[in-house]
Amino acid sequence: MLVFTADSLNLVLDLLKTADYAQHNIYFNDGQHQHQLVGFEVKFEDFECNGMFQRLEVGYKMKMSSAELVEFCFHNGQLKMEPMKAVAPKHDIGTPSKIAEYNF
């Protein structure tokens, strides 16, 4: 199990690209909730310069189990993240039961 925040996205980026989401539990903590990832997509930009084709990573999409997509990119070393919908819980139940089994 892995839980990460937006502050550590640059550190876990390579892991997110190669992870098997069906077999491993990976969660994104947005400061309010922990969202389970079910997929990760890299957005590329392909272009030709002086007869050579190049492909650059220009952005990323995290797919959550709630069907929400979170898009982000890095611009000059700074994280740029699309806003997420804030959902206030109806009541505080502590750690959700679906991830409580992994807490020590």
Task: Compute the half-sphere exposure of residue 3: CA atoms within 13 Å on the CB side of its CA.
Answer: 11
Report d(CA 46, CA 57) in Å as an integer.
9
* Burial group, residue 27, by CB count within 10 angstroms (0-12, 13-18, 19+): buried
Place of tokens 């640059």: 10
pLDDT at 100: 63
DSSP code for 91: S
Would you state the structure tokens that stand for residue 57, as one six-digit string? 């990573």
Asked whether the beta carbons of 20 and 1 are under 8 A apart, the reply is no
Domain regions of the chain by residue span? 2-100
Would you state the structure tokens that stand for residue 45, as one six-digit string? 């930009």
Query: Under DSSP, is residue 53 helix (H, G, I), strand (E, B) or coil?
Result: strand
Amino acid at site 60: Y
Q: pTM surpassing 0.95?
A: no
pLDDT per residue, tens digit, the chain (104 aa), is 899 999 999 999 999 999 999 999 999 998 888 899 999 999 999 999 888 999 999 999 999 988 889 999 999 889 998 887 766 555 555 666 666 666 65
